[in-house]
Amino acid sequence: MYLSQKDFKSIMQFPKKKIIKSKSNYKKYGDEHLYCEWVNCNRPRWLGPHHITFRSQGGGDEDENLISLCKKHHDYCHGPDSRIARTFLKDLKRGQDSSGTETEDDT
């Protein structure tokens, strides 16, 4: 049996995970976080906010998935230790440092 391209595409449709893509939230976060949020770093932010879980992997633009980073820490998050860096950033956003102890919130 031969399927037309249209029939094949309709059969192969898979539900996609809904990703929050909010340019306004991304911009707002960037406007409010001008310096690197890495522990003990106070360098100016490089580029816009960084996605902790990349958009290509299902990450959205909610505050919990955004962080401002300087160039040094941004490059680290895309280097060979990127998995370690992302785990660290997720812990940091949850209010813990890399040792698992609570960090102080300055807000």
Q: Where are the domains of the chain?
A: 21-93
Whole-angstrom distance, CA of residue 67 vs CA of residue 46: 11
Q: Is the pLDDT of residue 106 over 80?
A: no
Higher pLDDT among residues 35 and 7, named by residue: 35
pTM: 0.65
Integer Cα distance of 85 and 9 in angstroms:
38
The pLDDT, as a whole number, for residue 98 is 47
- The mean pLDDT of the chain is 79
Select from 59, 48, 47, 46 the least CA-distant residue to 86.
59
Q: What is the pLDDT of residues 54-90, one digit of tens each?
A: 888 888 889 999 999 999 999 999 889 888 998 999 9
Residue 17 has pLDDT above 90, yes or no: no
